[in-house]
């Protein structure tokens, strides 16, 4: 197991290869479909973010530089008292963020993305170009993963709804596996290619 503390350096990212088991510790942020669309429309496609979003933009720039985005729609206790606590923190299917992820990695200097199911060529190319990794989290283990969230520091855009809001969390030894590295390696691409070959043989095309 490789222990990594967030923020993560380029050198640390480049030392990782597909198949490495990693325990992440430090502060990261959750973000799903609505959050990614919001970042693209307000900050990446717009050279002058709206005045009403400037404070959030500055927070995100600081939070995401060298950090990790977790594709996660958590179940959160303590909403009434704002004494937030993650009850469930399982990964969301990452392919939904494929249209956005490369641009977010580039703009905010993100070093890691956590989710499940992998991502496509656009994100893989961004990982190689901008020195980032895709980390695969355990699907179906949401309550177990929530135990690695030691503190909820804050939440941005709660008006998006609890699952879609951007939760700023501190984790300790959060378990992941590198399935897309900064050298162009992608376990998901390898599996897709191997599966395609098997399918062709089964239907007599190869």
Could you give the residue numbers annotated as active site? 36
Q: How far apart are CA 4 and CA 16, in angstroms?
A: 11
Give how far Cα 83 sits from Cα of 78, 86, 161, 167, 178, Å. 5, 10, 17, 13, 33
∠ at Cα 111 (139, 129), nearest 5°? 110
What's the half-sphere exposure (Cβ side, CA atoms, 13 Å) at 48? 1
Query: In degrees to the nearest 10, what's the CA dihedral of 24, 25, 27, 33?
Result: 20
Q: How far apart are CA 186 and CA 8, in angstroms?
A: 20
- Residues 6 or more apart in contact with residue 27 via CB below 8 angstroms: 6, 63, 67, 153, 168, 169, 170, 171
What's the half-sphere exposure (Cβ side, CA atoms, 13 Å) at 25? 8
What does the block give as tokens for 80? Answer: 């009434």
């Amino acid at each position: 197991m490789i222990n990594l503390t967030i923020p993560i350096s380029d050198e640390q990212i480049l030392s990782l290869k597909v198949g490495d088991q990693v325990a992440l510790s430090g502060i990261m942020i959750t973000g799903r479909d609505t959050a990614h669309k919001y970042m693209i429309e307000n900050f990446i496609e717009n050279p002058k973010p709206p005045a009403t979003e400037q404070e959030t933009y500055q927070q995100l720039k600081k939070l995401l530089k060298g950090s990790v985005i977790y594709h996660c729609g958590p179940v959160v206790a303590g909403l009434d008292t704002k004494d937030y606590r993650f009850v469930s923190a399982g990964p969301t299917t990452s392919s939904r963020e494929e249209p956005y992820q490369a641009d977010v990695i580039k703009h905010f200097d993100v070093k890691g993305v956590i989710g499940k199911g992998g991502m496509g060529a656009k994100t893989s190319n961004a990982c190689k170009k901008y020195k980032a990794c895709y980390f695969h989290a355990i699907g179906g283990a949401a309550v177990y993963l929530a135990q690695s969230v030691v503190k909820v520091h804050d939440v941005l855009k709660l008006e998006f709804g609890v699952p879609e809001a951007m939760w700023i969390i501190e984790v300790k030894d959060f378990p992941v596996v590198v399935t897309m590295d900064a050298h162009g390696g992608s376990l998901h691409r390898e599996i897709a290619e191997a599966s395609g070959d098997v399918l062709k043989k089964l239907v007599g095309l190869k």
